[in-house]
């Protein structure tokens, strides 16, 4: 109920939420004089409120209003509000939102100050934004020659920069990336090293991607981390990257041991390395040349010696993947070319080295109409920065700059051209002689207009060859002819061009020179988790004709098939909203005029702040899931048999899958030795055993310490499946001599193999029972083919042999072992196959007087897909032969043993090829026997158990062997189990559950018994007569019974509040009694009212109260007048009933039945006499108590009976006695019954009180039935 209430409150709070400014960007903004300043205010739940931008004015003493909503209030035209609230266009992305940007164009030094974002809600909300406009004369020189050491200003600048980052406080960067205020302690390297961040790292993990990015500050610290021995898996922080662990178990890696080294590298790199160049721009010079420019890095720019421009060709026009080929690995040096460098033919990737005093370069000899991705890195003598923001650009022919026109140029008159050439079909003129409608051409149109195709496409070309544009749009070769205008006829090869007609139309318009050029200076600023600001300038070509811009963007993570989303905007800059956090986007802009869409701008790739790493699953030839199925992993545990297993599954299934853990680890390793990878990934020496998939006794002890490295191990498992060969299979010995042995095996099922390594060693008989866990032996033989002949062996000596598969990346694990005595007779059966090595680590894990549990570790040498069966051998010490039992798990329990007896065990492992050698031999004793003893049961809660609640009963028993414990509640068996500590939780406790008994028996001695009696606590409950009738003047006693524990406070009262309690007096006597002597017996409350009068009539209350509640029982005392005995005129009744004169002797003052009972002639008049004696009252209740049968009961209410003789002879006297007993207590029939019609379907029944005993009436019942229907209905009026 509490959870539902909280959920309801949360829902109401969200539904009725006030505006909030908590997401506003409030860090100080610094801009140079002449630049545009953009102050960002993020408002959630603005609803119908208005946003005001104000500026503090100290002279006026009050803020000055600049804007209200989207309207400018100030007369200064440089101020404007950027907020797109236009309705969404069909097929485009919805616009408008929570971001309101105050734009100050061409900022001046006088604009420095505090600006206020205010919401006129109730209460008023404000956020404050500081703006600092830096005069341009204070900006350092744009080109600094690092060789000029004598420049004092340069040295001072470097020293100043270094002094600012000694402590490396990157709080401002964290604020701009929306790091939560509670986690800002991590935005200072000094705080992290001093341990004064204020919160545990786990609480700020969601902010770590932004924090780490700001910490690295665009600098490449990886070389230092490698030099310090930081594993590759832990080097992402050195690159300014952080992947938040997800539910994928591979993301949970441990790098804590290298934190200090990583932070030391970052601290050092911040002081000596530059960060990335900024504002990378690409201008298209021709279809084979690009001009790339940038601004110097903001930190350590004085130490920069050169830049590297990195250029990658993309495989397609809209591709998201960089070509992986590298045809020219040589570094290009442009120091002697003044920033211009020619490239080799068709390189996929190359670097151009640019001197530090230059911030641009021209790249030519590129491929025409190819998309290139460009980044720039800064370098000095100590290292380099990270790459700059990625920019993409298409090489195409630039349009000649024309004088800007306010209106777009007119289209050439293509229809007139077609008419002159004889194209007269109206459909063909409309579709093929209009460059805009050409985009809508269908296949029937092309077939109908095929005779005029040559003239139509010639006119469309308008004397211009549009081939280059068509190729850049991806048109196939048969369609290129349409772009030239030189097509002679249309055949089936051109039918496929229908799908490219839209691209052809765009190329035609572009060739006519009527479309605007690409927007210039496109860039992305103010990148946040959910939005970014896009800025650009109008195109150089036909810029004044632009009516709006199309912004096209898409996430790059979804692959090349992801369509672009389009937003149309008329304003610049534009807020791109509703982005996903920590996601890379590709974005570009096109300009629109009245004719269509112009060429695209350069494409920029940027990443929003704060993201989660999504682990990808690899597809290796090795199928780990199939391995688990083969070795018999249970179905419940199969979710763990995957390299991308979920951490939630691991936590839920840890206890369930304990027995399957060795199989899961063995299949995960896949028979490969991953130790080298694990060492490279920083896994401690004590945990390296997990990297072989083999669990030893030492690893079981250190498992908790190795748990943080589970992600590291699984990553190595997954990496090794595609590199390291799997284990060999079907190893067997085929021939043997006195000094040599021939081995043959089959290659691994997966993985490439360069060679094989045969390991062998001579052993003695005792050592053969336990092979070491090291996967190597004294002697080794390298072979290329899957067979080997081992010579120079000692005759009649015992040897072990196993084989490893190897390549340049590592070796497999041994899959089986052959133990053989080097004699000719050893191969009497033809061959000896390799089998698993002996189980290891056999030990007793639990025991008692009647059982012993033995456990062991799986064999060290076994194929991962082998389904092992273990044979457990055991006997008593005095027995001569062993008994054997099979199991598939690594433990066995021997039951029904005798106390204080000694037993001997060993175990072997078997696969399809045979049985291993025996493990070590183990001897163990059973415990001595002790008879069972049970303690007195413990009850919780200990003070009192509440009725209707729950109680916990604990039965503790001692004894060896373990006893069977039984719990009885009030004689009913509740639970029985074999244990020493039984805990039972009982719900809905009742009053009768007060006797609790625990029994224990283990077969030795007598059954032990212990019990406890408890009293169940309960709130009072009261029972009693609701109405008590009494005659005025009599003494009357009101009584009620109270059930309660603990002892209640009891009282009588006449008011509901029980404030005026009735006490003993001359009028009242109060008595409190106990039902019996039991401690939880009920209480009897009695109130005697003496000499009852009219005022004593009314309501009384029995009140009871204890710690668990209060209860009051209402009782009504109703008075009746002393009845005046009515004189029954039986003689008159007899006359009215026509009783015969012979029988009239019975009709005296009261019916004298004795006078006629012996007269047979009066038997026929008995029913008349009974009617007169009943006097209108129903005495059947009394008659029933006297034993009058049902067939005679009608006489008791004055009605006739069928068995007159039987009833007259046997039951006349009891009936007459009831008439005398009830004559003053039972009322007569109501009189004067009458009916009043109320509605069409209802009547009102009225009557007068009976003449006989009217004061005894407690209620009336009304009976009725439909005429002709036997069933009677009744009701009791109020």
**Taking the alpha carbons of 803, 806, 810, 815 in that order, is the dihedral positive or negative?**
negative
For the question of whether the overall pTM of this predicted structure is more than 0.75, the answer is no
Alpha carbon of 302 to those of 139, 269, 336, 1089: distances in Å? 14, 15, 21, 110
Determine the Cα–Cα distance for residues 323 and 612; give it in Å rounded to an integer: 26
**Contact in structure between 296 and 306 (CB atoms under 8 Å):** no
Determine the Cα–Cα distance for residues 668 and 672; give it in Å rounded to an integer: 9
Q: Which residue has the tokens 């279809």?
A: 287
* Upstream peptide bond of 961 is cis (omega within 30 degrees of 0): yes
What is the SS3 assignment for 248-277?
EHHHCCCCHHHHHHHHHHHHHHHHHCCCCC
Residues pairing with 1016 in the sheet: 945
CB-based contacts of 471, cutoff 8 Å, min separation 6: 368, 369, 480
* Upstream peptide bond of 327 is cis (omega within 30 degrees of 0): no
Q: Are strands 349-355 and 360-364 parallel, antiparallel or unpaired?
A: unpaired
Alpha carbon of 990 to those of 52, 995, 1075: distances in Å? 68, 11, 19
Nearest CA to 542 among 407, 396, 394? 407
| Whole-number pLDDT of residue 396 | 67
Residues pairing with 657 in the sheet: none
Determine the Cα–Cα distance for residues 1158 and 1156; give it in Å rounded to an integer: 5
Determine the Cα–Cα distance for residues 1013 and 992; give it in Å rounded to an integer: 11
- Give all domains of the chain, ordered by start, each with its CATH number: 19-138 (2.60.40.10), 161-272 (no CATH), 276-398 (2.60.40.10), 400-409+513-616 (2.60.40.10), 419-468+476-506 (no CATH), 619-724 (no CATH), 930-1014 (2.60.40.10), 1017-1120 (2.60.40.10), 1130-1226 (no CATH), 1232-1275 (no CATH)
Nearest CA to 258 among 717, 720, 712? 712
pLDDT tens for each residue of 704-745: 677 778 888 888 888 888 789 989 988 888 888 888 889 999
**Contact in structure between 1118 and 1036 (CB atoms under 8 Å):** no
| Whole-number pLDDT of residue 821 | 85
Q: Specify the long-range contacts of residues 47-53, CB closer than 8 Å, at least 24 apart.
A: 47/19, 49/19, 49/119, 49/120, 49/121, 50/119, 50/120, 51/100, 51/117, 51/118, 51/119, 52/116, 52/117, 52/118, 52/119, 52/120, 53/79, 53/81, 53/100, 53/102, 53/115, 53/116, 53/117, 53/118
State the DSSP string of 1220-1249: HHHTTTS----EEEEEEEEETTEEEEEEE-
Burial of 726 by CB count in 10 Å (0-12 exposed, 13-18 middle, 19+ buried)?
A: buried
Alpha carbon of 462 to those of 409, 411, 452, 456, 500: distances in Å? 15, 10, 16, 10, 19
Nearest CA to 136 among 29, 32, 31, 30? 32
Number of H helices, E strands in the chain: 24, 66
User: What are residue 1071's phi and psi, to 5 degrees?
Assistant: -130, 135
Residues pairing with 119 in the sheet: 51, 125
Outline where DSSP puts E strands in 879-994. Answer: 883-887, 891-894, 902-911, 914-915, 922-925, 930-934, 938-940, 945-946, 951-960, 964-969, 972-978, 981-986
Determine the Cα–Cα distance for residues 678 and 1220; give it in Å rounded to an integer: 109
Q: Are strands 869-876 and 902-911 parallel, antiparallel or unpaired?
A: antiparallel
Token pair of 538 as six digits? 């109008």
User: What are residue 153's phi and psi, to 5 degrees?
Assistant: -65, -40
SS3 979: coil
**For residue 1070, what is the enclosing H or E element?**
strand 1068-1074
| Whole-number pLDDT of residue 282 | 86
State the DSSP string of 725-772: ----EEEEEEEE-SS-EEEEEE--SSS--SEEEEEEEEE-TTGGGS--
The tally of CA atoms less than 13 A away on the side-chain side of residue 104 is 27
DSSP state of 838: P
Q: Specify the long-range contacts of residues 553-557, CB closer than 8 Å, at least 24 apart.
A: 553/585, 553/586, 553/587, 553/588, 554/585, 554/586, 555/580, 555/583, 555/584, 555/585, 555/586, 556/320, 556/584, 556/585, 556/586, 556/605, 557/583, 557/584
Nearest CA to 611 among 567, 664, 555? 555
Radius of gyration of the chain (CA): 51
**Taking the alpha carbons of 343, 344, 348, 349 in that order, is the dihedral positive or negative?**
negative
The greatest distance separating any two alpha carbons of the chain, rounded to the nearest whole angstrom, comes to 161
**Residues in the chain where the model's pLDDT stays below 50:** 1-16, 87-95, 139-166, 318-347, 400-405, 611-620, 768-773
| Whole-number pLDDT of residue 223 | 87
Burial of 1104 by CB count in 10 Å (0-12 exposed, 13-18 middle, 19+ buried)?
A: buried
Burial of 545 by CB count in 10 Å (0-12 exposed, 13-18 middle, 19+ buried)?
A: buried
SS3 163: helix
**Contact in structure between 818 and 825 (CB atoms under 8 Å):** no
Token pair of 747 as six digits? 């290659």
**Taking the alpha carbons of 47, 49, 50, 52 in that order, is the dihedral positive or negative?**
negative
pLDDT tens for each residue of 871-914: 999 999 888 899 999 998 888 999 888 888 999 999 999 988 88
**Contact in structure between 940 and 915 (CB atoms under 8 Å):** no
């Amino acid at each position: 109920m509490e959870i539902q209430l909280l959920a309801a409150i949360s829902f109401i709070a969200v539904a009725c939420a006030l505006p909030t400014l908590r997401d506003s960007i409030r860090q100080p903004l610094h801009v140079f004089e002449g630049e545009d300043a953009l102050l960002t205010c993020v408002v959630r739940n603005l609803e119908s409120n208005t946003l005001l931008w104000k500026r503090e004015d100290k002279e006026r003493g009050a803020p000055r209003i600049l804007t209200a909503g989207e309207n400018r209030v100030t007369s200064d035209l440089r101020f404007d509000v950027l907020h797109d609230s236009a309705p969404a266009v069909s097929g485009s992305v919805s616009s408008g939102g929570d971001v309101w940007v105050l734009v100050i164009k061409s900022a001046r030094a006088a604009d420095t100050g505090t600006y206020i974002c205010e919401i006129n809600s109730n209460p008023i909300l404000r956020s404050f934004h500081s703006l600092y406009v830096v005069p341009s004369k204070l900006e350092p020189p744009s080109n600094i020659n690092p060789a000029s050491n004598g420049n004092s200003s340069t040295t001072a600048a470097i020293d100043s920069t270094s002094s600012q980052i000694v402590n490396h406080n990157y709080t401002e960067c964290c604020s701009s990336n929306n790091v939560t205020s509670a986690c800002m302690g991590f935005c200072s390297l000094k705080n992290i090293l001093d341990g004064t961040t204020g919160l545990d790292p786990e609480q700020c993990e969601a902010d770590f991607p932004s924090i780490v990015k700001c910490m690295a500050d665009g600098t490449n610290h990886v070389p230092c981390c490698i030099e310090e021995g930081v594993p590759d898996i832990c080097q992402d922080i050195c690159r300014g990257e952080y992947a938040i662990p997800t539910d994928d178990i591979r993301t949970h890696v441990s790098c804590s041991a290298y934190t200090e080294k990583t932070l030391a590298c970052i601290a050092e790199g911040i002081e000596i390395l530059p960060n990335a160049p900024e504002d990378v721009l690409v201008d298209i010079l021709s279809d084979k040349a690009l001009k790339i420019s940038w601004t110097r890095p903001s930190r350590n720019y004085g130490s920069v010696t050169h830049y590297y421009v990195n250029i990658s060709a993309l495989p397609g026009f809209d591709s998201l993947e960089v070509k992986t080929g590298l045809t020219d690995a040589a570094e290009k040096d442009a120091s002697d070319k003044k920033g211009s460098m020619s490239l080799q033919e068709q390189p996929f990737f190359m670097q151009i080295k640019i001197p530090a005093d230059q911030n641009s370069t021209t790249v030519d000899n590129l491929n025409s109409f190819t998309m290139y991705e460009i980044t720039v890195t800064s370098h000095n003598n100590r290292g380099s920065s990270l790459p700059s923001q990625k920019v993409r650009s298409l090489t195409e022919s630039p349009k000649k700059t024309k004088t800007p026109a306010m209106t777009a140029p007119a289209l050439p008159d293509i229809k007139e051209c077609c008419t002159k050439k004889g194209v007269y079909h109206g459909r063909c003129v409309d579709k093929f002689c209009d460059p805009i409608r050409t985009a809508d051409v269908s296949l029937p149109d092309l077939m109908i207009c095929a005779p005029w195709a040559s003239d139509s496409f010639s006119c469309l070309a308008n004397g211009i060859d549009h081939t280059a544009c068509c190729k850049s749009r991806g048109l196939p070769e048969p369609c290129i002819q349409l772009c030239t205008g030189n097509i002679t006829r249309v055949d089936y090869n051109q039918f496929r061009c229908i799908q490219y007609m839209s691209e052809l139309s765009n190329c035609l318009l572009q060739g006519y020179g009527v479309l605007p050029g690409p927007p210039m200076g496109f860039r992305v600023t103010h990148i946040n988790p959910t939005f970014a600001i896009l800025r650009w300038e109008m195109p150089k070509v036909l810029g004044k004709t632009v009516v709006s811009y199309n912004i096209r963007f898409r996430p790059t993570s979804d692959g090349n098939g992801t369509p672009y989303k389009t937003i149309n905007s008329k304003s610049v800059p534009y807020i791109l909203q509703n982005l996903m956090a920590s996601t890379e986007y590709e974005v570009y802009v096109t300009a629109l005029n009245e004719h269509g869409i112009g060429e695209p701008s350069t494409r920029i790739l940027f990443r929003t702040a704060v993201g989660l790493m999504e682990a990808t699953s690899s597809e290796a030839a090795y199928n780990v899931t199939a391995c688990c199925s083969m070795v018999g992993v249970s179905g419940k545990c199969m979710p763990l048999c995957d390299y991308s297993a979920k951490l939630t599954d691991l936590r839920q299934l840890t206890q369930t899958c304990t027995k399957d853990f060795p199989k899961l680890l063995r299949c995960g390793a896949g028979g490969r030795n991953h130790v080298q990878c694990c060492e490279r990934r920083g896994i401690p020496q004590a945990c390296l055993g997990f990297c072989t998939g083999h669990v030893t006794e030492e690893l079981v002890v250190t498992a908790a310490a190795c748990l943080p490295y589970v992600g590291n191990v699984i990553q190595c498992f997954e990496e090794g499946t595609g590199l390291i060969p799997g284990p060999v299979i079907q190893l067997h010995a085929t021939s043997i001599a006195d000094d040599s042995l021939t081995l043959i095996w089959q290659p691994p099922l997966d993985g490439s193999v360069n060679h094989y390594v045969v390991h062998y060693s001579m052993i003695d008989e005792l050592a053969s029972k336990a092979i070491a866990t090291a996967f190597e032996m004294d002697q080794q033989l390298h072979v290329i083919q899957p067979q080997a002949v081992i010579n120079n062996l000692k005759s009649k000596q015992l040897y072990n042999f196993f084989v490893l598969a190897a390549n340049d990346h590592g070796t497999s694990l041994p899959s089986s072992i052959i133990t053989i005595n080097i004699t000719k007779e050893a191969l009497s059966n033809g061959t000896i196959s390799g089998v698993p090595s002996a189980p290891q680590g056999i030990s007793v894990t639990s025991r008692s007087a009647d059982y012993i549990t033995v456990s062991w570790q799986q064999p060290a040498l076994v194929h991962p897909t082998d389904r092992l069966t273990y044979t457990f051998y055991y006997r008593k010490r005095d027995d001569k032969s062993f008994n054997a039992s099979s199991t598939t798990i690594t433990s066995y329990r021997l039951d029904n043993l005798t106390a204080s007896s000694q037993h001997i065990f060993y175990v072997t492992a078997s696969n399809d090829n045979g049985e291993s050698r025996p493990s070590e031999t183990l001897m163990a004793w059973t415990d001595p026997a002790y008879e069972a003893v049970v303690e007195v049961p413990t009850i919780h809660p200990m003070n009192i158990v509440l009725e209707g609640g729950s109680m916990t009963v604990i039965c503790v028993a001692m004894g060896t062997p373990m006893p069977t414990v039984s719990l009885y509640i009030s004689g009913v068996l509740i639970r029985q189990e074999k244990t020493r500590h039984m805990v039972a939780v009982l719900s809905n406790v009742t009053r009768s559950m007060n006797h609790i008994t625990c029994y224990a028996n283990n077969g030795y001695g007598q059954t032990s018994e212990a019990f406890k009696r408890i009293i169940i606590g309960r709130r009072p409950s009261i029972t009693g007569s609701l109405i008590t009738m009494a005659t005025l003047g009599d003494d009357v006693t009101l009584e009620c019974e109270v059930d309660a524990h603990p002892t209640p406070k009891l009282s009588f009262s006449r008011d509901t509040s029980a404030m005026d309690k009735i006490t003993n007096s001359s009028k009242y006597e109060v008595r409190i009694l106990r039902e019996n002597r039991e401690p939880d017996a009920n209480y009897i409350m009695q109130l005697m009212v003496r000499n009852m009068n009219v005022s004593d009539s009314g309501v009384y209350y029995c009140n009871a109260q204890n710690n668990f509640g209060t209860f009051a029982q209402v009782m009504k005392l109703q008075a009746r007048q002393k009845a005046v005995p009515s004189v029954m005129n039986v003689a008159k009744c007899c006359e009215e009933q026509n009783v015969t004169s012979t029988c009239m002797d019975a009709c005296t003052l009261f019916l004298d039945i004795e006078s006629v009972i012996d007269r047979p002639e009066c038997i026929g008049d008995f029913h008349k006499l009974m009617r007169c004696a009943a006097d209108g009252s129903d005495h059947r209740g009394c008659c029933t108590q006297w034993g009058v049968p049902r067939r005679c009961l009608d006489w008791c209410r004055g009605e006739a009976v069928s068995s007159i003789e039987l009833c007259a002879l046997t039951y006349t006297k009891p009936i007459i006695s009831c008439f005398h007993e009830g004559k003053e207590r039972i009322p007569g029939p109501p009189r004067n019954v009458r009916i009043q019609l109320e509605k069409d379907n209802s009547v009102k029944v009225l009557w007068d009180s009976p003449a006989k005993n009217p004061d005894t009436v407690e209620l009336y019942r009304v009976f009725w039935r439909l005429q002709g229907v036997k069933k009677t209905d009744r009701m009791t009026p109020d």
